[in-house]
Structure 1
Amino acid sequence: MGNREALLDGAKQCLLEKGYDRTTVRDIATAAGVSMAAIGYHYGSREALLQQALFSSLEDWDAGLQAQLAKLDEPKGPKRFEAIWNLLIDHVKRNRTMWMASFELFMQAQRTPELAEVYAQGQPGATAAMAALATGELEETIDAETIRTVGSVQMALVSGVVMQWMSYPDNAPGPQEIAAGLRGLVATLD
């Protein structure tokens, strides 16, 4: 493995252990077993390296989650809804540091125009994935309106529930409470 790859692996390790803001150049260089100057040579800056490490880690993490979701064999309906939410909640419990990193990425994007642009470019795909998660259909078969409406609401719901599970897991909603809450919200529309 060359220095560039070692730095990327070291930055991924540091993101999980320390988070974005608390990771220093020295931390990354130590984890990678290379000089601090190598970061500038290969990536230009600590921020550029950490951003690449974060996106790479999130892609790997998302691929694992998608593989688990693909294995669900429940047909559409309440049992599939419950199975999806049980899987997501379990994923939050087992991958807390990556969920924190995804929220850190969002916060960093608010402060860095270049990162905000990259983050925004990924949103249509994320919204389509959320629409597929909610409907049980393949992303490529879902129409644009469903992606914009169902996908956006599902993304908001997942983000909010994840934040609750990370902040106060003893009182965070499970699949039954989420379903009951959605039914209650729908009832307010009539």
Structure 2
Amino acid sequence: MGHREDLLEGAKRCLLEKGYARTTARDIVAASGTNLASIGYHYGSKDALLNLAFLRLTEEWGDLATKEDEGEREAEAPAAPLDQFRGAWERVIGSFEQSRAVWQLQMEVVSRINTDPELQKALVGPQREGRNGLAENMLGIDPAADPERARVAGLFCQALLAGVMVQWLMDPESAPSAQDLTDGLKLVLEGRGPAPEGAQ
């Protein structure tokens, strides 16, 4: 790898170990085996490098957590919508221990948005692309064939994902399972049933 790639890999390691606020340019240089001048030459600034490193980490996490094995996908018949939803969440939640640092980093990024306009700008496009990916992987909606349904479904899945991450980071013992989320979606789809006896 050249200095550009070394810097990106070093920045990714620093983000996972230290987060945004505690990562310095010298940390990145030490992790990448490069020099301070290389950051400005290849990326313009430390912040631009960290922003790109964060995007790469989230892309890698998405590949790990939400995508089925291509061979299995080709061998099996298409899953029913709720089965696909549950399967996608099993992969996301199953990645928690391996991906905890990425989840923590995403929470830190949310806290930085209002004070870091460059970071916010860098996230706009990938966030919209991510919604399409969630709609396709979790609900089987093809963004190219049905962009509006994919947009709305992606918004729904993204809102769920943020909430699930928070719950797993705060209290894994009571955090939702894939089956909990599937059962919850079923309840929403069914609407309100009869009130328990004696309830108002």
CA contact (8 A) 1:132 1:142 kept: no
Give the match's secondary structure for 2:175. coil
User: Where does residue 166 of structure 1 map in the other structure?
Assistant: 169
CA contact (8 A) 1:12 1:53 kept: yes
User: Where does residue 159 of structure 2 map in the other structure?
Assistant: 156
Instruction: Tell me the distance in 1 between the aligned counterparts of 2:161 and 2:193.
Output: 21
The correspondence of residues 65-80 of structure 1 with structure 2, limited to 5 A, is: 65-68=65-68, 71=72, 73=76, 75-80=79-84
User: Where does residue 175 of structure 1 map in the other structure?
Assistant: 178
The Cα of 1:184 is off from its aligned counterpart by 3.4
Cα RMSD, aligned residues only: 2.5
The correspondence of residues 33-182 of structure 1 with structure 2, limited to 5 A, is: 33-68=33-68, 71=72, 73=76, 75-144=79-148, 146-182=149-185
The Cα of 1:106 is off from its aligned counterpart by 3.3
* Alpha-carbon displacement from aligned partner over 1:136-164 (angstroms, at most 9, x marks no partner): 233322341x1232221111112111221
Give the match's secondary structure for 1:95. helix
Instruction: Tell me the distance in 2 between the aligned counterparts of 1:182 and 1:143.
Output: 22
- Scaled by the length of structure 2, the TM-score of the pair is 0.80
The alignment of Structure 1 onto Structure 2 pairs a total of residues equal to 189
The gaps in structure 1 that reach 5 residues or longer are none
Instruction: State the AA in 2 paired with 1:92.
Output: F
Instruction: State the AA in 2 paired with 1:156.
Output: A
The Cα of 1:108 is off from its aligned counterpart by 3.1
The Cα of 1:17 is off from its aligned counterpart by 1.2
Instruction: State the AA in 2 paired with 1:34.
Output: T
User: Where does residue 2 of structure 1 map in the other structure?
Assistant: 2
The correspondence of residues 23-42 of structure 1 with structure 2, limited to 5 A, is: 23-42=23-42
The Cα of 1:97 is off from its aligned counterpart by 1.2
Instruction: Tell me the distance in 1 between the aligned counterparts of 2:32 and 2:184.
Output: 46
**Structure 1 residues 152, 185: closer, same or farther in 2, change over 3 A?**
same
Q: Bigger CA drift: 111-120 or 18-27?
A: 111-120
What fraction of aligned residue pairs are identical, expressed as a percent? 34
The Cα of 1:49 is off from its aligned counterpart by 1.3
Structure of greater Rg: 2
CA contact (8 A) 2:84 2:138 kept: no
**Structure 1 residues 157, 122: closer, same or farther in 2, change over 3 A?**
same
Q: Bigger CA drift: 19-28 or 40-49?
A: 40-49
Instruction: State the AA in 2 paired with 1:45.
Output: S
**Structure 1 residues 40, 77: closer, same or farther in 2, change over 3 A?**
closer
User: Where does residue 198 of structure 2 map in the other structure?
Assistant: none
The gaps in structure 2 that reach 5 residues or longer are 195-200
CA contact (8 A) 2:7 2:34 kept: yes
CA contact (8 A) 2:16 2:102 kept: yes
Instruction: State the AA in 1 paired with 2:21.
Output: D
Give the match's secondary structure for 1:56. helix
